[in-house]
Amino acid sequence: MVITLLGATNGQLGSVIIPAYWGGGVLILFALQRLYLDPHLDAKFPLSRSKRDRLLQKRREAQPNTRQRRAAETPTSP
């Protein structure tokens, strides 16, 4: 296909068509990686957590469990 295009334009646009073809392919691969591959791999094989996830876990650890609070608040009868 590229040879046909180069022959039809007498090779004048070859210096534009070939880099544009490869550049477009690279952009498509980057988009597929960011939009499809990375989320699926992160879901299946998590290596690290986002800053938001770490903050949520710290908040959960800082607050005592509601069941534990309720148990501590209820008076025990002798």
Per-residue pLDDT of the chain (78 residues; tens, 9 = 90+): 555 555 555 667 777 888 889 999 999 999 999 999 988 888 888 777 678 888 888 888 888 766 666 666 666 655
Residues 6+ apart with CB under 8 A from 9: 17
User: Roughly how many angstroms between the first and final C-alpha of the chain, as a whole number?
Assistant: 90
Q: What is the pTM of this model?
A: 0.46
The predicted pLDDT at position 32 comes to 95
Measured in degrees and rounded to the nearest 5, phi and psi for residue 75 equal -75, 145
**Model pLDDT, residue 46:** 76
Rounded to whole angstroms, how far apart are CA atoms 75 and 60?
Answer: 25
Q: Which run of H or of E encompasses 34? A: none
